[in-house]
Amino acid sequence: MAEEIIEERFYTIPLGKAWIVPPNKRAPKAIRIIRDFIKRHMKLEARTESEEEEETEPKRVIISNEVNEKIWSRGIENPPRKIRVRAAKDKDGNVTVYLAEGD
């Protein structure tokens, strides 16, 4: 984790839409909701054709183990309704999502 952090933000991510899917798919849906939320709010863009031609590595959202364990702590059928996270963008443009302090 020697990457230099350029930008850091705190978010409360609502996960209520995970209840739209069947119960046995809720925790994976919550992870996808977190990934999409961070892409939107940390301004990670889809790759353009010029970037694909240059074969640059795409910018990624990396979800830490502690966030993953928090989502899965009550099983696949009952993830939390919301989660407080800290998103840190490094100089390569990758964003790592951690639990906010105290959670």
- Displacement of CA 4 from its chain's centroid (Å): 19
Residue range 53-78: average pLDDT? 89
Q: What is the CA radius of gyration of the chain?
A: 15
Q: What is the pLDDT of residue 55?
A: 62
Strand 5-14's sheet: what is its strand order? 5-14, 82-90, 95-99, 61-63
List the chain domain ranges: 5-99
CATH domain 5-99 topology: Ribosomal Protein L31e; Chain: W; (3.10.440)
Which two tokens mark 44? Answer: 């990670």
> CA 30, CA 34: separation in Å to the nearest integer?
6
Helix (H) or strand (E) holding 71: helix 65-72
Give 24-65 pLDDT, tens digit per residue: 999 999 999 999 999 999 988 765 566 666 666 677 999 999
